[in-house]
Structure 1
Amino acid sequence: MTANDVMTEIRDANLSYLMLAQQMIRSDKATAIFRLGIDKHIADLIAGLSNAQILKLAGTHMMLARFRFDDSAILGMLTNYNKDRTLAQSHAAILMAGQPIEEIV
Structure 2
Amino acid sequence: MNSNDMMAEIRDANLSYLMLAQQMIRADRATAIFRLGISQSVADLLAGLSNPQLLKLASSNMMLARFRFEDSTILGMLTNYNKERSLAQSHAAILMAGQPVEDVR
TM-score, with structure 1 as normaliser: 0.96
1:31-66 CA distance string (max 9 Å, x none): 000000001111011000000000000000100001
Q: Which residue of 2 aligns with 1:64?
A: 64
Count of matched residue pairs: 105
SS for the counterpart of 1:82 is coil
Mapped to 2, the partners of 1:104 and 1:22 lie a distance apart of: 16
- Structure 2 spans left out of the alignment, 5+ residues: none
Q: Which residue of 2 aligns with 1:55?
A: 55
Distance in 1, matches of 2:82 and 2:6, equals 35
Task: Give TM-score scaled by structure 2 length.
Answer: 0.96
Aligned to 2:35: 35
Two-structure CA RMSD over aligned residues (Å)? 0.8
Structure 1 counterpart SS, 2:24: helix
Report how far residue 85 of structure 1 moved.
0.6
Unaligned runs of 5+ in 1: none
Q: 1:102 offset after TM fit, Å?
A: 1.2
Q: What is the aligned partner in structure 2 of residue 14 from structure 1?
A: 14
